[in-house]
Amino acid sequence: MVRHAALKNLYETEKTIGTGGFAKVKLARHLLTGEKVAIKIMDKSCLGDDLPRVKMELEALKNLSHHHICKLYQVIETETHFFLVMEYCSGGELFDHIVQCSRLSEMESRSFFRQILSAVAYLHSKGYVHRDIKPENVLLDKDQCVKLIDFGLCAKPCPAIDSYLETACGSPTYAAPELIKGDKYLGEAIDVWSMGVMLYALLCGCLPFESDKIDVLYKQIVSGKYNAPEHLSEGSRKILRDMLETDPTKRITIEKLLSHKWVQLGYNEPVTYNSLCQELELDNNCVNTMASHFFLTAEEMWRHLTTERYDSHAATYQLLLARKKQGLPLRLGQYTARTARSRLQSMRRTVANGGNVDTKGTYVKMPASHAQTVQNDKENKGNKMHPPEATPAKLLRKRPRSPQRESSVSPAPKKAATTGKPTGSGTKLKIPRRSNESEPRTPNSRTNSPSTRLFNSIERKFQHVRRVLTPKRRSTESAQPALLTAKNMSNISTTSSNSPDQVREELVKALNNRGIECVCKGYSVRGKVQAANEKMCKLSFELEVCLIPTSANASGSVVGIRRKRLKGDAWCYKRVCEEILNMADLK
């Protein structure tokens, strides 16, 4: 549902997929194209001194266009909030992929590292430094391609990128020694150090410098001493030494990393950082689709897209481009996240039979005669572009509302008032007849008298209040664990048990033995760790018992546990989850 008026009629928000200090990321659906997006919502009242960082993040995202950097679609600013509509990456965080695999093979680590290196090199070529590179800020799309995110701490050194910076920021476990010491630093050098820590995490499944005590952690980082596991190859050890060099003047540079021997192994070519996607590429099919929908010429539509780069039309165009690259049909206005499949099929049959009205707000194509009338009116007005709210198509998509409902504060749903005024090409809206009426209503009918209308209005309101005060009867049957599909197989741990109830009981028992507060809701167990001592950090997470199909055709399934970090340090979450699963003896 849409909780913010700025997103109404544009996006339909779903669940929260990320949280931060002053921002929340919502999964949403773009109503015109049906594509999923991620919306970063920032409350201005919570920003305070961080407002310049938000403006820097916006500037950076607008100036960056790279296939390994998460794309910005639209920016909406109100008096109270910022809304950043961005590309949605269904593969989750790279960190969760590391947790799931314990550690990655050298070849897989190299593949991810080359993509991250390409994004960071492009970022530096544009004069920006990230300053917060870590696996939690690297997302994976459905094709396991890397997308760098979270430019809230990025900077653009002036007058050039080789200028020194002074602000100490970033995550402590990924911070370079010069940041710990409080010295001036080069942004390129600290990004290389953070990439070295992340490469170590990819290869080893843990961090090179880690401690619950912050002063001990800082001493480890400044000393530069870390443990190199025996499984690491000599080439991996060499590139880690080059990147985790405590002296920034001796640390390897991005230019040398691009052609490093270890990086080229298996590829036989250096990493290129030139962007494979243009900032705004012209696609005639997408432009024509939008022009037809908004009753504009292709030239007018393209002129608007090149002028307003991050409005709702620009977002629609970018999402149409994404659909075309996936081989999906180009069409607008036929998607609604809440509409069930059966209703969609019913509405399509209605449109095919000549219908032109949908009282549920789903877009329905207008008759050709009406569209031609609108087109003629537009040409007579000088071919001026109208906002989406002013177009007839937009008006037909709106749910008709009565003035009483707009001013009402009652939570009870009310039926929208309908009128008998002609719409479209002269077709009147048909008012459905009540089941207890034997004769059609006429203007002179007694049922339309003022007193009767008042009585019926009071009666309907009484029925609404009665339904609100009377709670619905809830089913006493216990919910069943979710049956996962191939799209939901991320962050899953399998078990040897075939009883979901037993697995849930073992998880609750293990959490209680670990001293972690837990709340059980259905087959989801939510744990909360309080910072009671130095060895425990504040953390909240969720473990959901689910069913995993054994094969595509078999009806059998095994019980799994889906993990989700809600709040807190990522590596503390990794350690706690491993302890809980080991204590429950479910692996």
Using CA of residue 430, residue 436, residue 440, residue 442, what is the dihedral sign? negative
Query: Going by C-beta distance under 8 Å and a sequence separation of 6 or more, which residues neighbour residue 519?
Result: 525, 526, 528
pLDDT averaged per 10 residues in sequence order, the chain, 587 residues = 80 86 87 93 86 90 93 93 93 88 91 96 95 93 91 91 89 92 93 96 92 89 92 94 95 95 93 83 91 91 90 93 89 60 47 44 39 48 45 39 39 42 40 43 48 56 52 50 64 78 86 84 84 61 82 64 78 78 70
pTM higher than 0.75: no
How far, in Å, CA of 396 to CA of 363, rounded?
7
Angle 312-325/284-293 helices, nearest 10 degrees? 130
Query: Going by C-beta distance under 8 Å and a sequence separation of 6 or more, which residues neighbour residue 243?
Result: 192, 193, 195, 196, 199, 251, 252, 257
Burial 541-555 (b: 16+ CB within 10 A, else e): bbbbbbbbbeeeeee
Residue 504 is predicted with a pLDDT of 86
Residue 443 is predicted with a pLDDT of 44
Task: Check if the beta carbon of residue 23 is closer than 8 Å to that of residue 41.
Answer: yes
Asked if 215 is an active-site residue, the reply is: no
Task: Check if the beta carbon of residue 364 is closer than 8 Å to that of residue 348.
Answer: no
Q: Which tokens hold the place of 391?
A: 């177009």
Q: Count CB atoms within 10 A of the CB of residue 210.
A: 14
Task: Identify which of 539, 493, 545 has the alpha carbon closest to the alpha carbon of residue 516.
Answer: 539
- For residue 383, give the amino acid letter: N
Could you please report the per-residue DSSP string of 11-80? Answer: EEEEEEEEE-SSEEEEEEEETTT--EEEEEEEEHHHHGGGHHHHHHHHHHHHH---TTBPPEEEEEE-SS
Could you please report the per-residue DSSP string of 197-238? Answer: HHHHHHHHSS-SS--SSHHHHHHHHHHT-----TTS-HHHHH
Residue 515 is predicted with a pLDDT of 81
How far, in Å, CA of 130 to CA of 125, rounded?
12
How far, in Å, CA of 369 to CA of 349, rounded?
20
Q: Count CB atoms within 10 A of the CB of residue 466.
A: 10
Peptide bond into 388 cis (omega under 30): no
Residue 27 is predicted with a pLDDT of 93
Q: Which of 132, 191, 242, 569 is catalytic?
A: 132
How far, in Å, CA of 424 to CA of 374, rounded?
10
Q: Say how far residue 424 (Cα) sits from the centre of its chain.
A: 38
How far, in Å, CA of 185 to CA of 146, rounded?
27
